[in-house]
């Protein structure tokens, strides 16, 4: 080691970053250059192992990386410059934190001697992103960089996955130091997420499951994050026990929508049968979900008569919103495997015929009913047509946030995990288009559709340019009702129909807009033309903006009104103006 | 239950609050204190008292002692939220162990003359406070004890010419031969 110039591990900080990406198997990153990351971009230019996708706004890089991660199970990587580059990443980082998406963001920083001087494009990136990352680092010494990068990938992808950020000052990118490949000692000794479930708790859980008369399995995004094994085991558990299963928004696809035990999604816009089953059950097995407020409704009336088993890798999810009886901390896949093993060895499939009869009655209420029209396209009908047209195809769906997102969750049947990318926890309008870019980069030959709303899609519409540049044939299926539909729905239901600033005045002509970007624009206004237009959209091998004009004032039902419990859902057939007013006025009258 | 028209369920919780002292062993690295207190402010938890210092320089370990209040569910949340932070080694609820000693150090400046001055000195003696600075018209007392004792001493000094108080906040350690 006398002559360091021949040591292949001697390199600049910028080279270390690219090298670390390669060592972690990263093939695609999403980013936007700027002053404080130019040395890294220079390294990217001189290699071909890592493909860089140039977005049009850093938020797009973050959501694209999320879509990439969610659809592959691998970490997504974003590269941004200091100052505004970093602040533009705050939304995707927070989004990934809420939905437990593994994301590694590398940000440039002003040179170390300028930090704190209010230098050009300086901001306190680690300070700003501290509450919206699982962990973050500012690297002041090039010899710490390899260790930090390896730790960053480890922290992002293990335990409860999440976003991390590594802030690298420009002088550290230029400086030469020693690189080393990933090794165990790179990680804080204090970081050791628990994977294996406690055996006593698992036995308790099995005996509850075996004695259940009215059981339900409530699964979430954690099952998908855990990996394909967890999905397989969840399906096997449903088969072995014969239990009904529902899922959160984030968990769709872990159990197939065509499965006979599937109840549909639960929660605020979940199905009547899913919510009633949750409310009346005697044993609830929650796997990788977190009793979010969109799920529980009124917490003091949430599933009042049940014993609750909660499997979660994050101990802070236990008893956060709902008190549970049997918490099991660890990885879903691991614990489901143990539960299955004990169940098969020691328990029998409980007789729950009566429970299924009850569920059949709830199903018969047909809570997703809507009235089709020959004159105007109902948004539910549009999603159903899209689903039928893509059934059996290799399809990935992303969404924006709002009514269209809930209709997509209700009417698009997901058969496999990793096929559904949506912003659940943070509810980020503008997520779906860049997420579709990321998904398409990961799956170049698959059909990738962003089910969008006319308001959401405009928040990140500039990424159409990215799609065109990289020939990513994403399909943006806009349910255009000329409103921020969910905002309008709430205003109608809760604020005396005073539609304050929820009308999309001066909407662009989406067909012309698509053409301006060099993409394909399609528009459909009549139900009779819908199927043909969808077929055309799928056939086009270029990015498409699909302007689907739908009924403007359609509301998303069924719905748990605010302050109500699962068994107080408002069903579509009851949701005439008078009943709706009554359901919501009840809440108001108590004020 | 009052429930205004809202997209959120607005709940009133009536569980009684408890006060707990938590000892948090962390990696001593830049930003670690900001992470911990950011967690408290970000999630709306209370900090009644906070002390922090490096305790094992060679291992780069610092110990943060936090006195907090909340319902039992919130206290449990705080512990889990702290424990899952990457640089946090261990969180011990010193209150729950019921086997801990808590101490605080205060420096109390009192200004006065005549009978007040004599009385202040007499009370300081009763509290085993030391005089660490004196002028003809003032004293600075150094006092160690639990929070209640220090509060009591400060209350007594108030009518005698209390000028200013500096307190370290609570440090806590478990009784017996075992470490945390």
Among A389, A348, A441, smallest CA distance to A78 is for A441
Q: Are B38 and A133 within 8 A, CB to CB?
A: no
Write the burial class of residue A135 (CB in 10 Å: 0-12 exposed, 13-18 middle, 19+ buried). buried
Q: A168 φ, ψ to 5°?
A: -120, 110
User: Measured between CB atoms, which of A130, A131, A495 is closest to B5?
Assistant: A495
What is the three-class DSSP state of B65? strand
Q: Are A130 and B38 within 8 A, CB to CB?
A: yes
Annotate B161-171 with b (16+ C-beta within 10 A) or e (fewer).
bbeebebbbbb
Look-up: residue for tokens 């906040």?
B169
Q: How far is B60 from chain A (nearest CA, A)?
A: 12
Q: Would the pTM of this model clear 0.80, i.e. be above it?
A: yes
Look-up: residue for tokens 């900080």?
A13
C-alpha dihedral (A456, A460, A464, A465), degrees to nearest 10: 160
CA dist B6 and A486 (Å) reads: 13
Q: A40 φ, ψ to 5°?
A: -70, -45
Q: Are A456 and A430 within 8 A, CB to CB?
A: yes
Written as one string, the DSSP assignment of B100-123 is EEEEEEEEEEEE--THHHHHHHHH
Residue A297: its pLDDT value, please? 87
Among B98, B100, B153, B101, smallest CA distance to B125 is for B153
Q: Is A170 one of the catalytic residues?
A: yes
CA torsion sign, B74 to B77 to B79 to B81? negative
Residue A560: its pLDDT value, please? 92
Q: Which two tokens stand for residue A358?
A: 């009850």
**Equal fold, B5-97 vs B100-173:** yes
What are the extents of the domains in chain B? 5-97, 100-173
Q: Helix, strand, coil: what percent of chain B each, to 5?
A: 30, 40, 30
CA dist A475 and A438 (Å) reads: 13
The reply to whether B180 touches chain A by the CB within 8 Å rule is no
Widest CA span in chain B: 65
DSSP 8-state symbol, A130: G
- What angle (nearest 5°) sits at the alpha carbon of residue A247, between those of residues A431 and A423? 10
H/E element, B125:
helix B115-126
Interacting residues of A408 by C-beta distance below 8 A, sequence separation 6+ = A383, A397, A399, A422, A451
Find, in chain B, the residue whose alpha carbon is nearest to that of A320: B77
User: Measured between CB atoms, which of B6, B80, B89 is closest to A562?
Assistant: B6
CA dist A473 and A396 (Å) reads: 12
**Pairs from A495-502 (Cβ < 8 Å, separation ≥ 24):** A495/B5
Residues of B in contact with A298 (CB under 8 A): 9
CA dist A58 and A107 (Å) reads: 11
Q: Is A341 one of the catalytic residues?
A: no
User: Measured between CB atoms, which of B2, B8, B77 is closest to A316?
Assistant: B77
CA dist A523 and A545 (Å) reads: 8
Q: Which two tokens stand for residue B159?
A: 């009518």
The reply to whether B8 touches chain A by the CB within 8 Å rule is yes
C-alpha dihedral (B97, B98, B100, B106), degrees to nearest 10: 120
Residue A562: its pLDDT value, please? 76
CA torsion sign, A426 to A428 to A432 to A438? negative
Q: Within 10 A of A386 (CB to CB), how many other CB atoms are there?
A: 27
Q: Are A569 and A558 within 8 A, CB to CB?
A: yes
User: Within the 32-71 window of chain B, which residues sit less than 8 Å (CB to CB) from chain A?
Assistant: 34-35, 38, 42
Interacting residues of A80 by C-beta distance below 8 A, sequence separation 6+ = A31, A32, A34, A37, A58, A61, A86, A88, A89, A105, A106, A107, A108
Look-up: residue for tokens 């205003």?
A491
Write the burial class of residue A207 (CB in 10 Å: 0-12 exposed, 13-18 middle, 19+ buried). middle
CA torsion sign, A205 to A226 to A94 to A149? positive
Q: Is A73 left (phi over 0), alpha (psi -120 to 50) or beta?
A: left
Tell me: pLDDT of B159 over 70: yes
Residues of A in contact with B1 (CB under 8 A): 563, 590
Written as one string, the DSSP assignment of A409-463 is HHHSPP-STTSEE---SS--TT-HHHHHHHHHHH-TTSEEEEEEETTGGGGSGGG
Interacting residues of A330 by C-beta distance below 8 A, sequence separation 6+ = A194, A195, A196, A197, A198, A311, A313
CA distances from A328 to A191, A224, A246, A309 (A): 19, 18, 20, 7
Query: How many helices (H) and strands (E) would you count in chain B?
Result: 5, 9
Pick the CATH number of B100-173 from 3.40.1790.10, 3.10.20.30, 2.20.140.10, 3.30.70.1150: 3.30.70.1150
CA dist A105 and A31 (Å) reads: 9
Q: Is A410 one of the catalytic residues?
A: no
| Beta strand extents in A297-365 (DSSP E only) | 307-312, 326-329
What is the three-class DSSP state of B137? coil
Name the pLDDT band for B13 (thresholds 50, 70, 90). Answer: low
Tell me: pLDDT of B70 over 70: yes
Q: A28 φ, ψ to 5°?
A: -140, 135
pLDDT tens by residue, chain A, 591 residues: 455 567 999 999 999 999 999 999 999 999 999 999 999 999 999 999 999 999 999 999 999 999 999 999 999 999 999 999 999 999 999 999 999 999 999 999 999 999 999 999 999 999 999 999 999 999 999 999 999 999 999 999 999 999 999 999 999 999 999 999 999 999 999 999 999 999 999 999 999 999 999 999 999 999 999 999 999 999 999 999 999 999 999 999 999 999 999 999 999 999 999 999 999 999 999 999 999 999 998 889 999 999 999 999 999 999 999 999 999 999 999 999 999 999 999 999 999 999 999 999 999 999 999 999 999 999 999 999 999 999 999 999 999 999 999 999 999 999 999 999 999 999 999 999 999 999 999 999 999 999 999 999 999 999 999 999 999 999 999 999 999 999 999 999 889 999 999 999 899 999 999 999 999 999 999 999 999 999 999 999 999 999 999 999 999 999 998 788 899 998 987 776 666 666 665 544 332
Q: How far is B172 from chain A (nearest CA, A)?
A: 21
Interacting residues of B180 by C-beta distance below 8 A, sequence separation 6+ = B23, B25, B90, B92, B174
Residues of A in contact with B38 (CB under 8 A): 130-131
Angle between helices A332-346 and A228-241 (to 10 degrees): 30
pLDDT average, residue stretch B130-145 = 97
Contact B84 A316 (CB under 8 A): yes
Residue A499: its pLDDT value, please? 95
Q: Is A58 one of the catalytic residues?
A: yes
CA dist A214 and A278 (Å) reads: 9
Strand partners for A287: A219, A311
Contact B86 A134 (CB under 8 A): yes
Helices within A12-77 (DSSP H only): 13-23, 38-45, 58-72
Residue A1: its pLDDT value, please? 47
Total number of residues shown for chain B: 180
Strand order in the sheet with A283-287: A262-265, A245-247, A215-219, A283-287, A307-312, A326-329
Name the pLDDT band for B5 (thresholds 50, 70, 90). Answer: low
Q: Is A546 one of the catalytic residues?
A: no
Q: How far is A490 from chain B (nearest CA, A)?
A: 8
User: Measured between CB atoms, which of B7, B42, B86 is closest to A131?
Assistant: B42
CATH level 3 topology of B5-97: Alpha-Beta Plaits (3.30.70)
Contact A190 B89 (CB under 8 A): yes
Name the pLDDT band for B133 (thresholds 50, 70, 90). Answer: very high
Name the pLDDT band for B12 (thresholds 50, 70, 90). Answer: low
Q: Checking DSSP bridges between strand A420-421 and strand A51-54, what pairing results, if any?
A: unpaired
Look-up: residue for tokens 């009417």?
A411
């Amino acid at each position: 080691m006398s002559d360091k110039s021949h040591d292949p591990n001697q390199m600049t900080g910028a080279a270390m970053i690219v090298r670390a990406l390669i060592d972690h198997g990263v093939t695609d990153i999403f980013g936007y250059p700027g002053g404080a990351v130019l040395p890294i971009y220079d390294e990217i230019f001189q290699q071909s192992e890592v493909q860089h996708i140039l977005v049009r706004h850093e938020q797009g890089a973050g959501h694209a990386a999320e879509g990439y991660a969610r659809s592959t199970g691998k970490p997504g990587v974003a590269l941004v410059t200091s100052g505004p580059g970093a602040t533009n990443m705050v939304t995707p980082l927070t989004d990934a934190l809420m939905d437990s998406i593994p994301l590694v963001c590398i940000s440039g920083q002003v040179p170390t001697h300028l930090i704190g001087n209010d230098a050009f494009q300086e901001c306190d990136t680690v300070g700003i992103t501290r509450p919206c990352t699982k962990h973050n680092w500012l690297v002041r010494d090039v010899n710490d960089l390899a260790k930090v990068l390896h730790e960053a990938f480890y922290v992002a992808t293990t335990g409860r996955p999440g976003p991390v950020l590594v802030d690298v000052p420009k002088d550290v990118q230029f400086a030469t130091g020693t690189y080393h490949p990933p090794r165990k000692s790179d990680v804080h000794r204090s970081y050791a997420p628990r994977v294996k479930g406690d055996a006593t708790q698992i036995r308790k859980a099995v005996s509850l499951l075996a004695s259940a008369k009215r059981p339900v399995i409530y699964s979430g995004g954690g099952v998908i994050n855990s990996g394909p094994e967890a999905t397989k085991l969840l399906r096997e558990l449903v088969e072995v026990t014969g239990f009904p299963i529902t899922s959160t928004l984030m968990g769709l696809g872990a159990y197939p929508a065509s499965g006979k035990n599937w109840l549909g999604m639960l929660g605020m816009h979940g199905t009547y049968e899913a919510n009633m089953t949750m409310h009346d059950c005697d044993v609830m097995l929650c796997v990788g979900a977190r009793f979010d407020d969109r799920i529980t409704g009124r917490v003091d009336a949430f599933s009042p008569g049940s014993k609750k088993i909660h499997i979660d890798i994050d101990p802070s999810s236990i008893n956060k919103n709902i008190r549970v009886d049997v918490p099991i901390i660890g990885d879903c896949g691991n614990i489901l495997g143990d539960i299955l093993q004990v169940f098969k060895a020691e328990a029998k499939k409980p007789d729950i015929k009566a429970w299924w009869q009850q569920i059949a009655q709830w199903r018969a209420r047909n809570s997703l009913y809507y009235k089709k029209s020959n004159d105007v396209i109902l948004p539910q009908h549009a999603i159903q047509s899209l689903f039928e047209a893509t059934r059996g195809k290799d399809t990935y769906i992303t969404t924006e946030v709002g009514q269209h997102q809930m209709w997509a969750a209700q009417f698009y049947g997901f058969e496999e995990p990793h096929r559904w990318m949506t912003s659940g926890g943070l509810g980020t309008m503008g997520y779906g288009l860049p997420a579709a870019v990321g998904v398409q980069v990961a799956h170049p030959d698959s059909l990738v559709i962003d089910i969008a709303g006319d308001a959401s899609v405009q928040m990140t519409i500039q990424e159409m340019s990215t799609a065109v540049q990289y020939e990513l044939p994403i399909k943006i299926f806009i349910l255009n009702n000329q409103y921020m539909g969910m905002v309008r729905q709430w205003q109608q239901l809760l604020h005396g129909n005073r539609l304050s600033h929820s009308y999309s005045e001066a909407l662009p002509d989406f067909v012309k807009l698509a053409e301006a970007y060099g993409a394909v624009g399609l528009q459909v206004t009549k139900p009779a033309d819908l199927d043909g237009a969808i077929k055309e959209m799928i056939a086009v091998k270029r990015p498409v903006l699909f302007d689907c004009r739908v009924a403007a004032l359609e509301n998303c039902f069924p719905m748990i009104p605010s302050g109500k419990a699962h068994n107080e859902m408002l069903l579509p057939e009851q949701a005439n103006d008078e009943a709706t007013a009554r359901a919501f006025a009840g809440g108001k009258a108590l004020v | 239950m009052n429930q205004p028209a809202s997209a959120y369920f607005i709940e009133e919780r009536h569980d009684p609050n408890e006060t707990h002292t938590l000892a948090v062993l962390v990696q001593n690295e830049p930003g670690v204190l900001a992470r911990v207190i950011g967690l408290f402010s970000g999630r709306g938890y209370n900090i009644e008292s906070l002390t922090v210092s490096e305790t094992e320089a060679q291992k780069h370990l610092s110990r943060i002692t936090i006195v907090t209040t909340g319902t039992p569910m919130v206290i449990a949340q705080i512990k889990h939220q702290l424990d899952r932070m990457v640089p946090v080694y261990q969180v011990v609820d010193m209150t729950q162990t019921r086997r801990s000693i808590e101490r605080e150090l205060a420096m109390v400046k009192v200004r006065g003359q005549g009978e007040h001055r004599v009385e202040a000195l007499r009370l300081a003696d009763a509290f085993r406070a030391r005089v660490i600075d004196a002028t003809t018209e003032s004293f600075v007392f150094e006092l160690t004890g639990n929070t209640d004792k220090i509060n009591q001493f400060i209350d007594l000094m108030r009518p005698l010419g209390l000028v200013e108080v500096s307190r370290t906040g609570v440090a806590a350690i478990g009784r017996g031969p075992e470490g945390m």
